[in-house]
Amino acid sequence: MNNTVLITGATSGIGLACARKFAANGDRLILTGRKENVLTEIRKELTEKGAEVLTLAFDVRDREKAKKYIGDLPEEWQEIDVLVNNAGLALGLEPEYEGSYEDWETMIDTNIKGLLTMTRLIVPGMVKRNRGHIINIGSVAGDAAYANGNVYCATKAAVKTLSDGLRIDVAHTAIRVTNLKPGLVETNFSNTRFHGDTERAANVYKGIKPLTGDDIADVAVYAANAPEHVQIAEVLILATHQGSGSVIVRE
């Protein structure tokens, strides 16, 4: 049976890769993101390949708008089988005592509160139906802080804890919870972190072959399609020459 998969932050990076991989798997997609024009292009791309796609343009930080969009889903789209909480970002790379209040708020509101909002809106239906799967995109940064990563690392540590807590809360059901923890992935992540400084962002990936969004999406699709009695609880995915969040061996 094909799943209905809702992916947040689906306009680029890991989210877009997940959209393409789940579509190739034959699943129906609900894609959310802030950029309506980009969502329209992605829907066109995927529908031309035979996928069923519904797009919702909203920011997960806007709880009221999220409630409205999810509450107004057409009846045939209301039973969501897989929720991929992907929307997230890093901003800045400064010591904690020099960080930007605005950057902190954006990361906390997106990476933690946005994930909680979508979980709160979608999971009750899964509990009622006694089936479903939540895939949270965490990070190796959630395992241990690295220099100047402070608040971003804290938000991804929260993703780990929230995933673990939800897994306990739904253990009486057939719902599964997965936390994917990527290491160095070459997307627009670093460009966003450095506020559009393309040269500085490119230096992050110099001297090492990083992961791609497709690498993470492959694991997400695998977890979602594991046998019903198998729960892929947590997966750490690193580039071959990355030992941890702070150990990267470059040529």
Q: Distance between CA atoms of 231 and 175, rounded to whole angstroms?
A: 9
Write out pLDDT tens, residues 68-85.
999 999 999 999 999 999
Please give the radius of gyration of the chain, using alpha carbons only, rounded to the nearest integer: 17
Evaluate if residue 1 carries a pLDDT over 80.
no
Write out pLDDT tens, residues 144-163.
999 999 999 999 999 999 99
Q: Distance between CA atoms of 135 and 8, rounded to whole angstroms?
A: 11
Mean pLDDT of 134-144: 98
Q: Pull the structure tokens for residue 246.
A: 């702070």
Instruction: For the beta carbon of residue 38, count every other beta carbon within 10 angstroms.
Output: 17
Q: What is the largest CA-CA distance in the chain?
A: 54
Write out pLDDT tens, residues 196-241.
888 888 889 999 999 999 999 999 999 999 999 999 999 999 999 9
Q: What is the pTM of this model?
A: 0.95
Active-site residues, by number, are 152
Sequence ranges of the domains in the chain: 71-237
Write out pLDDT tens, residues 83-127.
999 999 999 999 999 999 999 999 999 999 999 999 999 999 999
CATH number of 71-237, picked from 3.40.50.300, 3.40.50.720, 3.40.50.800, 3.40.1280.10: 3.40.50.720
List, in order, residues 6 or more apart from 208 with CB less than 8 Å away: 184, 239, 241, 242, 248, 249, 250, 251
